[in-house]
Amino acid sequence: MQTIRQTLIDLLSGEPLGARELSRVLGIREEEVCDHLVHIERTAGARRKKLTTLPFACLDCGFVFRDRKHFTRPGKCPRCRGTHIETPRFQLR
Ligand SMILES: [Zn+2]
């Protein structure tokens, strides 16, 4: 039987996916997905892989969150203070 974490690693090795999509596929809460992502990032080096957060943008002004290290979505845009922010997507490569 595969563990949730292993399934998550397999999923992330394919198409980039957002935390919400992952939580739906795995049947766990989004916060749990984030906990797993933190662990996967920490151990990715041992597999010669890297967990990448794809740049995501503010839907109000187009500001791109390039250097964001956190796995959760920011509440507000630092430029326009808007709250319509794209969901970050993750990929293991
Ligand atoms: Zn903005």
Return d(Cα 76, Cα 68) in angstroms, integer: 13
Return d(Cα 48, Cα 13) in angstroms, integer: 12
Cα 90 to averaged position of ligand 1 atoms, centre (Å) = 21
Cα 65 to averaged position of ligand 1 atoms, centre (Å) = 10
Cα 21 to averaged position of ligand 1 atoms, centre (Å) = 23
Residue 54 burial (CB count, 10 A): 12
Structural domain of residue 11, as residue ranges?
Answer: 4-92
Cα 76 to averaged position of ligand 1 atoms, centre (Å) = 8
Cα 70 to averaged position of ligand 1 atoms, centre (Å) = 18
pLDDT in 10s for each residue of the chain, 93 residues: 579 999 999 999 999 999 999 999 999 999 999 999 999 999 998 989 999 888 889 999 999 988 766 666 778 999 999 999 888 899 999
Q: How many structural domains compose the chain? A: 1
Residue 20 burial (CB count, 10 A): 13
